[in-house]
Amino acid sequence: MSTSGKSDVTIEESLAAERPDIFLSYSRVDKEIAHAIAEQLSKRYVVWSDKGIVSGSDWRSVLDTKIKRARCVLLYWSPLAERSWWVAYEAMRANQLEKLLIVSFHDVAAKSESWAKDIQSIRLSKPLLKKFWQTADWQQLLRDLDHKLPRLPKYEFVGWLGGGVAHAGGVTSVEFNPFDDDAILSTGKDGRALLWSRGAARGELEQVKQENADDVIAPAQCPSGPFEHFAGADQAGRPWGINRGGFSYAGDAIFLATEAGATNLFHGKRFDGETRTLSHLSVVYPGHDVSQRMVGQNQFSGGVADAAVGPDGLVLSISGGKAVLWNWREGTSKEIQLPSYAAGRSVDCCYSPAVQSFFVTDRKGRTHRIDRKGELKQDALRQRRAPGAVLGFNQLHAERPRGSDLCVASTSPADRMIDVYQAKDSAYPDKPNFQVRADYPVRGLAVLPDTDVVAVASGYRPFLVSWGNSGQRVEMSGDGGDHFGQLTSIACSASGAYLIAGSEDGCISLWRDAVPRD
């Protein structure tokens, strides 16, 4: 690694640069071949080396920072590089972080006393009639780098669904159909559930100018007919809001958890199929007046907080510290009392086919498991250090091998860690496999398919965090996409090509991944 080169690049500019995919480490005596390797790698990755850093008292701290921020450290080894103290230092720091990969045109293992002989390495070949990047060895290096560099998407803002406010009063949930990137479901406090296609997005919000008043965002051009459902209103004419909506993990049904205390289940991909109303309050609070909002000492005034659809006719609904497991095919229901420390409220639930169970969070930061027989296991996952917990998962269905990643985060700013659980042998571990940090209180999570990335609804603009790269934060790119209200929900399409986010301003932003997909 060269330590004597001169450049106009300052340390501050170097530290401010984006996180590279690859930190290229080499000795100055090998700079020509190292630059040739960097040139080829730059066609596929973001590569950084120290050639632009001036040697000085802060040089070591700059390298430490870059090694920590890089997703992978690729060290070019040679017999002369073996003698470099700086190369050895960088290799040691990278190996401690499990980021190191060695490449060389020499046989590293042949030097039995080398510190590099026990580290994963790729030996490149340089045949007479070919370039080294046209060999099978180079392709193997790229495969190894791809393994160390889990794919990171680059989402760019596409537009706002309908070009304005989709839900007056705020968006409560958004979700893609797990088998259709062009089918989007949104729900809101206005009591409406809407089915969209991506073609409903527009480039900018429409604004209406008024004299002596602020700009008013125009209502979105919403779909109608069988693509819209209204939850109804109470005796005072106020609409029953929809707290959460989504698709079954098989994509063949829609559920809506409403303030009216029931889960509406629609068979098929639209609202025009067979409908069932699963009245949560009729089970947990018999004799209630469905027109009244104050029910059971106000425990159930918020209605059904969330629901999830499992296989074989199973549906779970949660509200007021109680869960109800329904089997609509058999016409049965089972009431499940959640732990007393749920404080009469519950937050999120989902169904994981990887472990064939439902998971429920409560406002005390705990996560419980309910199997398909309705048996409750308290504190199935690590307890949060602060109140509140929300769940995030990839589109969970049995046909996707990676459909087993489950994320849990607190809704409190006192606990900003996101726990990531990966199923193994039909169970989640007692402790998270990974932990990454979110910058703000989290309102929603969504795990991207086939990547080690979770999308976070927090603040006014969504962002991504990769747990496969020491919690690297990935910003959404391009202009636009900033909401006027706090984000409330987020979802990713089954292919990972699209992302949507809803917020308190009632708008839904649509994002597209600009990274080419195989």
Domain boundaries, the chain: 11-148, 155-513
Please state, rounded to an integer, the average pLDDT across all residues of the chain: 82
Q: Are 470 and 94 in contact (CB under 8 A)?
A: no
Q: pLDDT digits over 393-405, tens only?
A: 875 444 444 457 8
pLDDT band for position 12 (cuts 50, 70, 90): very low
Considering only residues 167 and 151, tell me which one the structure prediction assigns the higher pLDDT: 167
Q: Which CATH class name applies to 11-148?
A: alpha beta
Average pLDDT, integer, range 499-516: 92
Spatial strand order in the sheet of 192-196: 171-177, 180-188, 192-196, 228-230
pLDDT at residue 345 in the model: 56
pLDDT at residue 443 in the model: 92
Check: CATH 3.40.440.10 for 155-513? Answer: no
Same fold for the pair 11-148 and 155-513: no
Spatial strand order in the sheet of 453-457: 444-447, 453-457, 463-466, 472-475
Q: pLDDT digits over 219-237, tens only?
A: 888 887 789 999 988 888 8
pLDDT at residue 18 in the model: 52
340-345 CB contacts, 8 Å cutoff, 24+ apart: 341/366, 342/366, 344/299, 344/320, 345/299, 345/302, 345/305, 345/320, 345/321
pLDDT at residue 11 in the model: 34
By percentage, how much of the chain surpasses pLDDT 70? 83
Q: pLDDT digits over 254-291, tens only?
A: 999 999 999 999 999 889 889 999 999 889 888 777 66
pLDDT band for position 57 (cuts 50, 70, 90): very low
Considering only residues 330 and 516, tell me which one the structure prediction assigns the higher pLDDT: 330
Average pLDDT, integer, range 292-318: 83
Closest CA to 508 of 475, 483, 486: 483
pLDDT at residue 400 in the model: 46
Closest CA to 244 of 197, 187, 320: 187
pLDDT at residue 9 in the model: 38
Q: Are 488 and 243 in contact (CB under 8 A)?
A: no
Q: pLDDT digits over 58-67, tens only?
A: 666 777 777 8
Average pLDDT, integer, range 56-78: 76
Q: Is the dihedral of CA 51, 52, 54, 57 positive or negative?
A: negative
Closest CA to 362 of 354, 371, 370: 370
pLDDT at residue 229 in the model: 92
Six-digit token pair at 39? 């040139």
